Every structure is written in structure tokens, then in C-alpha cells.
């Protein structure tokens, strides 16, 4: 895969600056377990929220401001951002010129698979970093948002990204015992298969053979979130797909197992930082 010159990408963005700017989220075609977006915002973009994926991206234009792990952070063009699963954060433009950035959202399970048996999620303490190899890797991943990642390209990206995060973490993550990891995997598969309905703790106990508290500990150690949050996020992922297909919000709420539209909207904003109606209005999805 050839290197991508991010400065050229930024330059092309500056050449287009004479065009009327508007807020938007451009979503690439889906690649299993990886979401890629390009976004432009003026002012506040996202309220405080959390999701169960890593968010790893590049600031392209402007000042990217966000609150994360108890402090205000700033990222400038060319810097890399690494946000961990289930960490509350917000985001927006740091000045009146606005903000443009690209972001990868990656399921922790994919990075763990790339690292091998029993690995735990790598933790990078600093959310804004200057890392040229990682910057180039991300620029390559964002080279064409109009096309999905080829399967081999996706697999290579995951391996390189996983080891780049381990390198930035600076110390090895504690590995989970194989039996504990397997129980968490069984629970995850069960939640995936039953995401359209409520799942009780007793069901997961029967499926895994563990008591609910041990399972909750193992699940969080492996996937950096709780079984409940994982289940809700799978519903919300389906909801976003239905919204992108043009389904009315009330119908989406009913189809994804939420009690009503208000219940759905509350969960959506907690996960994505904006109500579903605003997300639908901003998003352009490549097919």
C-alpha cells in the first residue's frame, strides 16, 4: 500500500475553502467492525457521550477541542487522536474557523484478535499524540472514503494498528486467562445473536457457566465495556443503518427493541453525542 501525503490532503481541503462550508458527517461504506468518517463542524459538535469502540483519527483543519478523562484537550492538523472505549468525551471546533477531521471507530475485539490469544485492550494514556508512523497508517486507511476496505487491506490495517497502540501504550497489557477470555467471547456471541431483545444476566450465566459478577469483570477486561452497554450499542448500530436507509425514527425505535422513540433518542445521544434526527440530517453515507 502506498504512503498517503496528509499535507496534500489538507491542501486539497484548503483549495476547496472557497466553496460554501457546511456541517456534515461523511460515512464510508461499512467494513466489518471498522467505521470510517470524515466530519466538518463549526462550534460544538457532540455533547458528552461514550461508545464501546476505539476512536482513532486525524485532525485535518482547524482546532479540534474535546473533553476527555477529566481535562480539556486540543488537537491540531496532523496530530493523532486516540480515545478508548467507554470513556466519556465531547467534541467540537476550538475557534470560529471550524474543524475538519477523519476518524476510525474500531471494535476492541478486532484489535484483540490481531494481537493474539488472551491479549487485553492496549491503553494509550495521552489522547493527542505526534506519531508519524501512526499518522501515515491512518492517512492510508482514509485514502478513499468512497470505497469499502478490501478484506486483506482491512486485516493488515488491524494488525498494524493494534501493534501501534501497544507501542504507544509503553507497557504490555495484562493478559486475561484463556478460560476467562473464552467465557467473555461466548457472552459476546450470545449478545450478538439476541441483540433485538432484552437479555437477562441469568441467560448469560447459563450460556457461559459463570456467575454474573465474574462474567461482568471478564467481559470488561476483554472488551472495555459491560455486557449491557455492548447489547445497547449493537441495537444502536442497527438503528443507524435503518436511519441511513430512510426509516422514520419511531419505526426505528420499535424495530431495535427500545420502549419508545424518547427512550431510543436518550440512548442514541448518550452513545453518539447528538439526537438521532440531527445525526440523520448531517450524515452522508457512501454506498
pLDDT band at 14 (very low <50, low <70, confident <90, very high): very low
Q: Are 271 and 281 in contact (CB under 8 A)?
A: no
Tens digits of residue pLDDT in 233-265: 999 999 998 998 889 999 999 999 888 899 999
Least confidently predicted of 86-100, 114-128, 185-199, 259-273: 114-128
The domain made up of 6-169 has a fold known as: Jelly Rolls (2.60.120)
Distance CA 284, CA 266 (A): 23
Residue 29 has pLDDT above 50, yes or no: yes
CATH code of the region 229-285: 1.10.10.60
Q: What is the DSSP string of 140-191?
A: HHTS-TTSPPPHHHHHHHHHHHHHHHHHHH-SPPPPPPHHHHHHHHHHHHHH
Residue from 27, 62, 26 nearest 42 by CA: 62
- Structure pTM? 0.75
- What's the burial of 270, exposed, middle or buried (CB within 10 Å: 0-12/13-18/19+)? middle
8 Å CB contact between 110 and 153? no
Q: What is the predicted pLDDT for the residue at 285?
A: 65
pLDDT tens profile 120-142:
788 999 999 999 999 999 998 99
Tens digits of residue pLDDT in 32-89: 889 999 999 998 899 999 999 999 999 999 999 999 999 999 999 999 999 999 999 9
Residue 52: CB atoms within 10 A of its CB come to 23
**Residue 278 burial class via C-beta count within 10 angstroms: exposed 0-12, middle 13-18, buried 19 and up:** middle
44-49: strand order across its sheet = 44-49, 89-93, 64-68, 71-75
Amino acid at each position: 500500500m502506498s504512503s498517503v501525503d496528509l499535507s496534500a490532503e489538507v491542501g486539497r481541503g484548503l483549495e476547496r475553502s472557497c466553496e460554501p462550508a457546511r456541517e456534515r458527517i461523511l460515512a464510508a461504506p461499512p467494513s466489518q467492525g471498522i467505521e470510517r468518517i470524515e466530519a466538518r463542524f463549526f462550534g460544538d459538535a457532540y455533547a458528552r457521550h461514550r461508545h464501546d469502540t476505539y476512536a482513532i483519527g486525524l485532525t485535518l483543519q482547524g482546532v479540534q477541542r474535546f473533553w476527555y478523562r477529566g481535562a480539556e484537550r486540543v488537537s491540531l492538523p496532523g496530530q493523532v487522536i486516540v480515545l478508548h472505549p467507554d470513556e466519556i468525551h465531547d467534541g467540537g471546533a476550538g475557534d470560529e474557523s471550524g474543524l475538519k477531521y477523519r476518524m476510525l471507530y474500531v471494535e476492541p475485539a478486532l484489535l484483540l484478535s490481531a494481537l493474539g490469544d488472551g491479549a487485553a485492550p492496549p491503553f494509550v494514556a495521552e489522547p493527542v499524540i505526534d506519531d508519524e508512523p501512526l499518522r501515515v497508517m491512518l492517512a492510508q486507511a482514509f485514502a478513499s472514503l468512497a470505497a469499502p476496505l478490501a478484506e486483506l487491506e482491512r486485516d493488515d490495517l488491524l494488525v498494524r494498528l493494534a501493534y501501534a497502540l501497544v507501542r504507544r501504550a509503553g507497557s504490555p497489557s495484562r493478559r486475561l486467562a484463556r478460560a476467562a477470555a473464552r467465557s467473555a467471547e461466548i457472552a459476546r456471541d450470545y449478545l450478538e445473536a439476541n441483540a433485538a431483545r432484552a437479555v437477562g444476566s441469568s441467560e448469560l450465566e447459563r450460556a457461559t457457566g459463570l456467575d454474573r459478577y465474574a462474567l461482568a469483570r471478564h467481559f470488561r477486561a476483554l472488551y472495555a465495556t459491560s455486557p449491557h452497554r455492548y447489547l445497547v450499542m449493537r441495537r444502536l448500530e442497527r438503528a443507524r443503518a435503518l436511519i441511513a436507509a430512510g426509516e422514520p425514527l419511531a419505526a426505528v425505535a420499535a424495530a431495535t427493541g427500545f420502549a419508545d422513540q424518547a427512550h431510543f433518542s436518550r440512548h442514541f445521544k448518550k452513545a453518539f453525542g447528538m439526537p438521532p434526527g440531527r445525526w440523520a440530517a448531517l450524515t452522508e453515507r457512501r454506498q
